[in-house]
Each structure stands twice: as structure tokens, then as C-alpha cells.
Amino acid sequence: MSASLLDRIVVVLDHPKDVVNIAAVMRAMMNMGLSTLRLVRPEEFDPYRIEGIAHRSGPLIESTTIVDTLAEAVEDCVFVVGTTARARTANRNYVRPRPLAAEMLERAAEGPVALVFGREDRGLTNEGLDLCHRVAIIPTHAEYSSLNLAQAFLVLAYELHLAAVEGGEALPEGRRADRPATLGELEGMYEALQNGLGRIDFFKGTRRADAVVRTLRTVLSRADLDRRESKLIQAIGFEIGNYMDRHQVQADRRPVPGPEGRDHDGSSA
């Protein structure tokens, strides 16, 4: 898929009542790369209030189209998707958001595709649903299934964005990310860990060195360590040994009490 197909997704709000919901939808549109909004006779459309809620939405507000009927809003679209909270008595082509998103983008290659939401209190009318090729139902908990307009829109918009960029947008890496550790670097890490643990008498009783290190290999291999990470863990092993060396030097420097309560240097204990 291509993110450019998102430019052909037309978001339609049919008779929205609350300007706050319009603003929330606009904000989610900007989050998910959608840029075309059409409103069917909104009860209120206040650009000043909208931009106060959805910051930097000025260009989207200016490009928003307001029309009189839902049929007018979708007349140029090759594929129309409606939304509902539950199945109606009428037979519809009901689908879930995830497979629907892929189908919408495929159809967007042919022309504009509409994603339609009804009024906050009633949803789309049956006449509105008659204009739709598919009807999306978002799965929710049976005992509390209601989503507000912005929530429902964000779920569908997220699925569209995910389908559009899947495989093409890598997850961010940490600023200090490095190449994968080589086998030699990993072996040096395990050796330093084993030596360091040995210095603090970790291997005693049932803790055999070979068994413990083998478990550490199993755990750390799942992490796919990079070079920097392996060096950090290796340094932990080295520092255990260095700490023990410093501790031993300090112990050697302490005066040893001699006979009759005097130290070897002749001072009182």
C-alpha cells in the first residue's frame, strides 16, 4: 500500500451536532494523514473554536466542504463505507475495521472513497446506510459498546493509516542504536560475566558456572543485543572484578592487631 492513497479518503460527518466532536475528528485526521473532510449540515461550525481544540488545523478547516445532503457529499466517490454501533434489522454488508481498511485503500486507487459517520445521538439513518457499499462495526465489550464519534473515527483512521504505511515506515530506534553484536563480542561478554560472578562466589551449591552461563546465553540471545549493549554488559562483568580488586587492596592496607592490643606499628588498638 501507499500512504498517498490516504489523500483519496473522504471523511464525511452527517449532521454532526457538537463542534467539539468536529474538532476532535479533525485532530485525528491530522494524526493519521487524512486531509479531506465534508460536513453535511452541521449544527455549528466555528473555525475559531475548532482551531482552539485541534491546534494547527487551519488548512484543514479552510478546505472543509459543507453540503446539504449526504448524497451530495458522496456522489463523486467510487466506494462508500458507513459506520454503525450494531447490526440493524436490514441486511447490510457488515465488516470489521481491519480487513475493511485494506479494501478501502485498494478501491482508493480507482477514485475517492468515503468514510461516513452519522449523528452523535442516532448514527446514520437507514437511508444513509442505503448509500453505503460496506458498513463497519467496531468490536467492543458487549456490556458497554458505545463509542463517541471521535473515538469511533480514530479507530477507523488508525486502521487506514496502518494499512497504508505497513512495511514502509520503520519503528524509531534509540539515539544510541548500534549494529548487531558479533559472535566474538558476545563471547567476550559471557566470559566477563562468568569471571565477574565467579569473583563474588555466585557459583556455589546448585549454581554451577556452566549451567548459569547457559541460562544467561538463552535469556540474552532473545534480546538481539547490539554492539553497545553487549559492551555494557561486558563492562558489568569487568567492574565486578575491579570492585573486588579494590576491596582486597583496602583490606590488605588495614592494620592487623598485634599482641596486647597493639597494632603491628606499635600504636594502641
| Residue 25 or residue 262, greater confidence | 25
Alpha-carbon distance of 26 to 56, in angstroms, equals: 10
Buried b (16+ CB within 10 A) or exposed e, 121-136: eebbeeebbebbbbbb
Decide: pTM greater than 0.85. no
On the 0-12 / 13-18 / 19+ scale of CB atoms within 10 A, 159 is: buried
pLDDT in tens, 61-110: 999 999 999 999 999 999 999 998 777 656 789 999 999 999 999 999 99
pLDDT in tens, 150-175: 999 999 999 999 999 875 566 666 66
Look at residue 173 in the predicted model and tell me its pLDDT: 66
Would you state the cell numbers that stand for residue 108, as one nine-digit string?
A: 482508493
On the 0-12 / 13-18 / 19+ scale of CB atoms within 10 A, 106 is: middle
Torsion of CA 100, 102, 104, 107, to 10 degrees: -140
Cα→Cα distances 80→93, 94, 161, 189, 192, Å:
12, 13, 18, 58, 63
What sign for the dihedral angle of Cα 30, 26, 145, 119? Answer: negative
| pLDDT higher than 50, residue 269 | no
pLDDT in tens, 178-188: 889 999 999 99
What is the gyration radius of the CA atoms in the chain, in angstroms?
A: 33
